[in-house]
Amino acid sequence: MSSTVAAPAYSRAVLAVTMPKRIKWLPVSDKGMPIPWCARPTPGQNKAVTAIKRRLCWICGEQMGSNVAMSLSPLGTINRATSEPPAHRDCAVFSAKAGLMSRQNPAVVAVWVTRGYGPFRTGNGGALLTFDDPEEVLWFKEGRPATREEVTEAIEAGLPAWRDMAEKEGPSSVDTLKQMVDRALTYLP
């Protein structure tokens, strides 16, 4: 008697996107989505710390090369900060197109490909990652390439709260925010 292993039952969103080979080995949820390495519990292991220290892809868990991809909200391209470790470029693009991590990411997502990143301490004792200038920035909205207008709209939707904070802090903070926004706008599609 021979036994066969059933092929994973992927969702339509996943089947509509070219899947990197390194993601094909991931287990599949009952909703038909690959379960990212970061979402699979490992007792006694902080996946974010492990990924950063060992330079592992946050999505597939494999070793990364010299370029890494940060999956960012539009505002993350302004302050250049994220809580999510990087991934391989193809894993991040797949994730953005298939909605693999859509609960964590907004409707508009930037895949920021860069060589350098590192942790920094926040004022409240936490830690975030910052990253270098990009080699490439790809923008997606709901699984497809985003237009310049859609990205601009997403950025503008999040800026009022930041502008209010900057105004309360004073003219220097307002100027700094303007410089950060202007720099980020150079990377729009």
CA torsion sign, 91 to 153 to 156 to 151? positive
Q: Please tell me the predicted confidence (pLDDT) of residue 9.
A: 84
How confident is the prediction along the chain (189 residues), in pLDDT tens digits per residue? Answer: 555 555 568 888 889 899 999 999 999 999 899 999 988 888 877 888 889 899 999 999 999 999 999 999 999 999 999 988 999 999 999 999 988 765 444 689 999 999 999 888 888 878 889 999 999 999 999 889 999 999 999 999 989 999 999 999 999 999 999 999 999 999 999
Q: Please tell me the predicted confidence (pLDDT) of residue 89.
A: 97
Interacting residues of 150 by C-beta distance below 8 A, sequence separation 6+: 108, 139, 141
Q: Please tell me the predicted confidence (pLDDT) of residue 70.
A: 95
Q: Please tell me the predicted confidence (pLDDT) of residue 117.
A: 92
